[in-house]
Amino acid sequence: MIAFKIYHRRSGHCVLKESPLRMIPPRKIAFWGKKKEKENSRFRAFLKSHADPDELDQRFKSLHEEIFAAYDCSKCRNCCKEYNASVPDNEIASDAEFLAMPADEFKTRYFSGQNQNGDWISRGLPCCFLNGNECILQDHKPESCKLFPYTNQPDRMGSLMNTMEIAQVCPIAYEIIERLKQEYQWTPYGR
């Protein structure tokens, strides 16, 4: 069961409700994320002008922890299907060793090249490290993959546009945005 707050506009009271976590299925997130794109853009503008950055970080982090505790990402993996992995150069040797291959073979087999930061970018989509719904790198996967969708990271205010885009891929990010709308008593038609 997941507990969340529902604000009643007329009475001004907050009611704590419990409900099983029911989120949009991964296969439907692109449709619903796109459908909410303009609404989320207006919500982003609202947050930019009304939310305290530190409080927003806390709300994001709290919702992130609550939802991740009840959601199994291995049932989704939309992030692995829609984004390339970015592996820092200093992790190549240990990742290659984990997969029992020389670093040069690892780079040739799994990467298309390096980005401007020197990180190695995985070849093709879905991610070449995705096997079924599991990452072959397991605990060796890049930090950027481990942290996705970044909703527990600081400075959410500065990353709202990116978070709104991620909400079109990740059911957890989508759910967090929808819950924040409730917490801030925000509606697409005004407060």
What CA–CA distance (Å, rounded) separates 57 from 72? 23
The angle formed by the CA atoms of residues 51, 144 and 116, to the nearest 5 degrees, is 100
Q: Tell me how far CA of residue 77 lies from CA of 5, 71, 139, 152, 170, in angstroms.
A: 28, 12, 15, 18, 8
| Inter-residue contact 54 to 89 (CB < 8 Å) | no
pLDDT class for 191, splitting at 50, 70, 90? low
pLDDT of residue 182: 94
pLDDT tens sequence across 2-13:
444 444 555 555
Strands 86-87 and 120-122: antiparallel
Give me the phi and psi of 134, to 5 degrees please: -125, 145
pLDDT tens sequence across 126-148:
999 999 999 999 999 999 999 99
The full set of domain ranges for the chain reads 25-78+149-183, 84-147
